[in-house]
């Protein structure tokens, strides 16, 4: 069991969830406010996507990331900033010619996926460690050579990669990045459970993936939807940190829509009920080997 637990709040994501919960933050101002209130509720890390304010869809617009990060940094609330690098890998095969991209495809190379990281130099950036089926007609493409280049860029810029793993094969490749010297210090993993056609949000999957991590790894885990809070408890019991937020789950209780701050507070209550405690951003930085604020 882990006694000093880091809570990450993933405040918005990129999915089409904005019509399901009015508290999904969309504009840079709303996302900034969500980060601040989540930190005030007990989140040490904020995992940040941005959305196009007009369409409300997930975006990789560097200017939107700049507005959010600069506003968070200018606030009086300390939080570890973790920027997604997951945008730019979506491939929808065209119905008439599967060799061509269909509507919704957004496919770019590794440096363009990380343009906002180069500009803003966050504490952490996420790397999705493999290609996977992401729904019934979407492929998320993250090739080994793309990931090598992303890891190299993060290393060059002094940003710690969060190695997001959705099944055991992703851990295998993440370990290869470590073996090739592309990850500095103790590696940081995020075990992502319950996404369509990835590993399930259940105790057996989290245990198997935890057991496949390198011995020196720092890690967190989460489950989506109704399994978010059970996986908080499971991660703590298995020695990990936790992640919650409206990217992963829209509800506080059955039929009761949540805010990010409420999800963080619920996670904190679970952690404390297990006899552990949620740590602040300075302790999170020390645990993860990040540069001081």
Long-range Cβ contacts of 25-32 (<8 Å, 24+ apart):
25/51, 25/246, 25/260, 26/51, 26/53, 26/56, 27/51, 27/53, 28/53, 28/64, 28/67, 28/68, 28/71, 29/71, 31/68, 32/67, 32/68, 32/71, 32/72, 32/75
Average pLDDT, rounded, for the chain: 97
The pLDDT, as a whole number, for residue 291 is 86
CA-CA distance, 167 to 197, in Å (whole number)? 9
pLDDT digits (tens, 9 = 90+) for 27-60: 999 999 999 999 999 999 999 999 999 999 999 9
Contacts of 217 (CB under 8 A, 6+ apart): 186, 187, 188, 189
**DSSP 8-state secondary structure symbol assigned to residue 93:** B
The pTM of this model reads: 0.97
- Would you kindly state where each structural domain of the chain is located, as residue ranges? 84-288
Q: Taking residues 254-283, what's their average pLDDT?
A: 98
User: Bridge-partner residues for 47, per DSSP?
Assistant: 10, 82
pLDDT at 45: 98
Q: Are 266 and 231 in contact (CB under 8 A)?
A: no
Give pLDDT, residue 238. 98
Question: What is the distance between the alpha carbons of residues 6 and 82, in angstroms, rounded to a whole number?
Answer: 13
- Report DSSP state, residue 139: E
Going by pLDDT thresholds of 50, 70 and 90, the confidence category of residue 180 is: very high
| pLDDT of the residue at 251 | 98
pLDDT of residue 101: 94
Q: Are strands 241-244 and 218-223 parallel, antiparallel or unpaired?
A: parallel
CATH number of 84-288: 3.20.20.70
293 has a pLDDT exceeding 80: no
Using the predicted structure, report yes or no on whether residue 233 has a pLDDT greater than 90. yes
């Amino acid at each position: 069991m882990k006694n000093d637990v880091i809570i990450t709040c993933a405040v918005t994501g990129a999915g089409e969830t904005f019509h399901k919960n009015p508290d999904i933050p969309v504009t840079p101002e709303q996302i900034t406010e969500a980060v601040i209130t989540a930190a005030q509720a007990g989140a040490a890390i904020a995992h940040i996507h941005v959305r196009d304010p007009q369409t409300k869809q997930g975006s990789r617009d560097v200017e939107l990331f700049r507005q959010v990060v600069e506003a968070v940094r200018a606030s009086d609330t300390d939080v570890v900033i973790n920027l997604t690098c997951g945008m730019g890998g979506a491939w929808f095969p065209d119905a008439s010619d599967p060799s061509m991209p269909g509507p919704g495809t957004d496919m770019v190379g590794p440096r363009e996926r990380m343009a906002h990281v180069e500009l803003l130099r966050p504490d952490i950036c996420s790397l999705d460690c493999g290609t996977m089926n992401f729904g019934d007609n979407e492929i998320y493409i993250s090739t080994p050579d793309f990931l090598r280049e992303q890891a190299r860029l993060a290393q060059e810029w002094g940003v710690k990669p969060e190695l997001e793993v959705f099944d055991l094969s992703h851990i295998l490749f993440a370990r290869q990045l470590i073996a090739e010297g592309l990850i500095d210090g103790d590696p940081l993993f995020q075990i992502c459970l319950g996404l369509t056609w990835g590993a399930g949000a259940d105790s057996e999957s989290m245990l198997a993936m935890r057991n496949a991590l390198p011995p020196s790894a720092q890690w967190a885990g989460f489950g989506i939807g109704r399994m978010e809070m059970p996986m908080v408890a499971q991660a703590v019991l298995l020695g990990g940190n936790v992640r919650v937020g409206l990217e992963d789950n829209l509800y506080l209780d059955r039929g009761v829509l949540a805010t990010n701050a409420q999800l963080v507070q619920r996670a904190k209550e679970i952690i404390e009920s297990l006899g552990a405690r949620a740590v602040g951003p300075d302790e999170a930085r020390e645990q993860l080997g990040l540069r001081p604020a």
